[in-house]
Amino acid sequence: MGVGAEGDLDGAGEGKLVLNGGILDLAGPSIDVTTLSIADNTATAFALTFGDKAITARKMYVGNYGAGTFNQKGGSTTVTERLYVGTCGASAGWLTQSGGSIAPGGAR
């Protein structure tokens, strides 16, 4: 499946959510992590589409080394430090918003 998580993802400690493939099904109303990375490894692709949820992250990478897509159809995304899109070498990142709100902190 290729979905890995490191640390605590319940907001109780430092957490990192890495999405490199598979399906992420959120049962709860929110994700609160230190780092959210979509397509973090070379030759990986992952698209995260969500609505009516809240995501809070200190740092967010969309296409860090692979091909990452972040589709926001509702809800809210708050990045307190940095939002990176298509950041490394041959990576590719796409961020689309058709609803909700994005507060990018310090986008790059």
In a domain, 93, yes or no: yes
Q: Which residues pair with 58 in a beta bridge?
A: none
Please tell me the predicted confidence (pLDDT) of residue 1: 26
Structural domain count, the chain? 1
pTM: 0.76
In a domain, 51, yes or no: yes
In a domain, 108, yes or no: no
What is the DSSP code string of 31-88?
A: EEEEEEEES-STT-EEEEEE-S-EEEEEEEEESSSSEEEEEEEEEEEEEEEEEEES-S
Residues spanned by the domain of 72? 3-103
Confidence of residue 107 (pLDDT cuts 50, 70, 90): low
- Which of 29, 49, 45, 36 lies closest to 4, judged by CA? 36
Q: Residues 24-72: pLDDT tens digits? A: 666 677 888 888 888 888 888 888 888 888 889 999 999 888 898 998 9
**Does the pLDDT at position 11 exceed 80?**
no
